[in-house]
Chain A
Amino acid sequence: MSLINQFKSGLARSKAGFTDRLATLFGGGELSEEFYEELEEILVSGDVGVETAMKLAKELREDAKSLKYKERTQVKDLLFEKLTAMMSAEKAVSETIHRPYVIILVGVNGSGKTTSAAKLAHIYRREGKKVLLVAGDTFRAAAIEQLEIWSERAGVDLIKQQSGSDPAALFFDAMNSARARDVDIVIGDTAGRLHNKFNLMEELNKINRVIGRCVDGAPHQVLLVIDSTTGQNAVVQAKSFNAALPVDGVILTKLDGTARGGIVISIQDVLGIPVRYIGTGERIEDLAPFHPADFARALLDL
């Protein structure tokens, strides 16, 4: 199954209400005020956020007017282009220049960091890279065991310490082992933390500094893991994590449910942080690179 289809089938399972409404909306008829209001509502119901939804509707209204559009289908194409453009923020990543190339995963509790770390390791492993996983969640009970099982499934090495140990010290060791073992990619899991807990965000900052001291320019990629069921708070999360350490991209998880993850549109719009991967299931291969056009197409059921 192609990536688009995989994502679409996930969405299809119960986005029925959403798709039906879209189909009716774009089915035909004139461009009335009700049309734009309905469109706004549909976007909001996909967690796009009121502000972004209103902004999109306003832009569409103006563009349609200046382009002298009369048909709803024309606006649909326009919306597709706009969404794709909004989600195409780029931040260069160069995995070949740095060695070891260090990636760390951050996020709030229960967003799916540990599972995503394993899935990411699997992707690189399949590309023939030598991967090292770091069990950086030393706080949550059995998080280390969880990643240990995953690392066996992915067939990659794991660096761990005892539960409760200092994560910064663990990352220090991990960076040295990465060099000694001559690995290509280091993927670090971290403990889930709510972004409004000062001490925990400071801890993240410290991990960031320690990694940077051990390996030049590291971490080379900081990925924020966001549960696609999250509402408007995801923007606040992204802002706070980005303030503690610069976030390069988002992994949007649990897209196999009914949530549409529209909040990533706001995150890209407001903070310019692109989505890099989407999680679409519980198997180790259920992580796919993010493609803005596919996402917009699936979102609008094109």
Chain B
Amino acid sequence: MFSNLADKLQNTLKQLRGKGKLNEKDVDVAMRQIKLALLEADVNFKVVKDFVAAIRERAVGQEVMNSLTPGQQVVKIVNEEMTRLMGEKQSGLNFSGKGPTVIMIVGLQGSGKTTTVVKLAAHLRRGGKNPLLVAADIYRPGAVKQLQLLSESVGEKIYSNEEADPVDICLEGLKLAESESHDPVILDTAGRLHIDEDMMSEITVIKNAVKPQEVLLVVDAMTGQDAVNAASAFNEAVGLSGIVLTKLDGDTRGGAALSVRAVTGCPVKFVGIGEKMEALEPFYPDRMASRILGMGDVLSLIEKAEASVDQNKAREMEQKLRKQQFTLDDFKDQLGQLRSMGSLDEILNMIPGGGNIPKEVRQMSLNEANFKQVEAIIESMTKKEKQDPSVLNSSRRRRIAMGSGTTVQDVNRLLNQFEQMQKMFKKMGSIDKKGAMKKFKKGKKGFPL
């Protein structure tokens, strides 16, 4: 079993890469694998059919046959088509010319609307806006309270009135925004099933009453084949302007992003990537496509790294990595820096070829307790041991375990992880030679690992 779509496509295309020219049969095999991979990634089967047909047509056509390296050509086509399907460019919000902009948030139960509303408010606040949140979910027990508490935590103002009808609540909220000059107004509507006629007509009425500039559908990234049904029903009822994809910090393959985009024609405008109120990011289709294809989300990684890594240290590290003088001391420093960037798994997924990194390294958890243990073990070593772990015989290991209050097994595990990481860096060094890492250099600040 492959671990994700990226690995799968990579594997399929690796077979193509080795080929000089493609015949119909090669293309068939590759297309079938791409199809299966996409289906397992929860892309809707109708969308998959169209997608594969589009690639196939281009793959067996002239442009591949005449090129010297058809395999690479197919990779390029798949990447282009996937980016195209997801909407080519990143799209932002539409704002009203005069009067407050109204943003209406709709979706199924449990997709993450309330959390998204507050994250969006925080995002707009950072952009210099003064938003007002409106609690229009009067059905789910505790929903208004949830919005109240969350908005308090980020210091945003909320309008609620549990006695009123959702349509009136929204209109009253809008009035309040006008008199207190809040802009934009974000409406948190109740979760509803797309086949519940009464509830669907409610949002239609709200929409006609408040005339929003944006109607955003919140979609759980883990949604399966049904994503298209819900999305098209919402689109028909209220006319969507965009999608927010939530819970993308999970390990779902996120095929719903492709499906929903394809059936509604609406761009994904934001992605939710965590439980913190600042964990909302713009959606970049090109980055997502590269990531799905296993080419690594290099740009995001560089941005993340630049935000959290000391540049001088990073350059120093790059030098060491190139010369492969990576010691246990550096390892400790790196773990500390990685911790401030996010989970290791998340970072590895952004590195080109990151999907191939051994399990031992991936599963290394960077929680507080674990990190302290690693630190204790490394600090219990002598200078010589840190420089050259190969001198660590069993008696030295015992001493280190006792000195750090751990067991010999812990010490062994750490050394094993360190070794894996060194191997990984060696591999990355060789990728660099092939030029895949040039992008990092273009990012000019050097690669922090």
Contact = CB atoms under 8 A, between A and B. Distances in A.
Interface of A: 13-14, 41, 44-47, 49-51, 108-112, 139-143, 145-150, 163, 194-199, 202, 227, 229-234, 236, 254, 256-260, 263, 282
Given A110-B111, A141-B145, 5 more contacts: A14-B229, A112-B110, A232-B40, A254-B108, A258-B195
B106 to A, nearest CB: 15
Main secondary structure of the interface of B (DSSP, over half): loop
A229 B227 contact: yes
Interface string B222-233: 111111011000
A256 B250 contact: no
Contacts of A49: 40
Given A109-B247, A141-B150, A229-B230, A50 B224 contact: no
Given A110-B111, A142-B145, A231-B256, A194 B249 contact: yes
A145 B149 CA distance: 11
Given A149-B141, A227-B220, A108 B247 contact: yes
Interface of B: 36, 39-42, 44-45, 108-112, 139-143, 145-146, 148-150, 153, 193-195, 220, 222-227, 229-230, 247, 249-253, 255-256, 275, 343, 345, 365, 367
Contacts of B343: 197-198
* Most A Cβ at <10 Å: residue of B110, B229, B275: B110
B222 A233 contact: yes
Contacts of B251: 194-196, 233, 236
Given A14-B195, A146-B141, A258-B195, A47 B146 contact: no
Contact of B142 (A111, A146, A229): A146
Contacts of B367: 198-199, 202
Nearest to B3: A236
8 contacts: A44-B45, A44-B225, A194-B249, A195-B250, A231-B227, A234-B222, A257-B226, A282-B109
Contacts of A14: 195, 229
A194 B40 contact: no
Contacts of B227: 229, 231
Contacts of B142: 142-143, 145-149
B222 A108 contact: yes
A154 to B, nearest CB: 12
A231 B145 contact: no
A165 to B, nearest CB: 15
Given A146-B141, A259-B226, A229 B220 contact: yes
Contacts of B110: 109-112, 227, 254
Contacts of A198: 343, 365, 367
Given A112-B109, A230-B222, A150 B40 contact: no
A286 B139 CA distance: 16
B46 to A, nearest CB: 8
B42 A233 contact: yes
A163 B153 CA distance: 13
The 6 closest A-B pairs by CB, nearest first: A231-B224, A110-B110, A146-B142, A231-B42, A142-B146, A141-B149
B153 A229 contact: no
Contact of B220 (A110, A146, A260): A110
Nearest to B191: A110
A234 B247 CA distance: 13
A239 to B, nearest CB: 11
A51 B37 CA distance: 11
Q: Which of B112, B227, B250 has the most CB of A within 10 A?
A: B250
A28 B110 CA distance: 41
A108 B220 CA distance: 11
B433 to A, nearest CB: 33
Contacts of B255: 231
Contacts of B256: 231
Nearest to B259: A231
Nearest to A145: B142
Contacts of B252: 231, 233, 236
B116 to A, nearest CB: 11
Nearest to A54: B36
Given A141-B145, A149-B142, A257 B230 contact: yes
Contacts of B365: 198-199
A46 B112 contact: no
Nearest to A191: B275
Pick the most buried of A41, A50, A263: most chain B CB atoms within 10 A of its CB: A50
Nearest to B149: A141
A230 B250 contact: no
A36 to B, nearest CB: 15
A50 B195 contact: no
B220 A232 contact: no
Contact of A256 (B40, B193, B249, B275): B193
Contacts of A254: 108-110, 193
B349 to A, nearest CB: 11
A69 B327 CA distance: 68
Contacts of B143: 142, 146
Nearest to B365: A198
Given A110-B110, A229-B108, A232-B41, A194 B247 contact: yes
A150 B247 contact: no
A236 B250 CA distance: 10
A130 to B, nearest CB: 23
A174 to B, nearest CB: 20
A229 B45 contact: no
Nearest to A149: B141
A53 to B, nearest CB: 9
B140 A110 contact: no
B146 A140 contact: yes
Contacts of A257: 108, 193-195, 226, 230
B185 to A, nearest CB: 21
A233 B253 contact: yes
Nearest to B140: A146
B224 A141 contact: no
A202 B366 CA distance: 13
Given A142-B146, A227-B110, A232-B253, A13 B195 contact: yes
Nearest to B256: A231
Nearest to A259: B226
B276 to A, nearest CB: 12
A93 B111 CA distance: 32
A149 B348 CA distance: 43
A191 B116 CA distance: 18
A141 B146 contact: yes
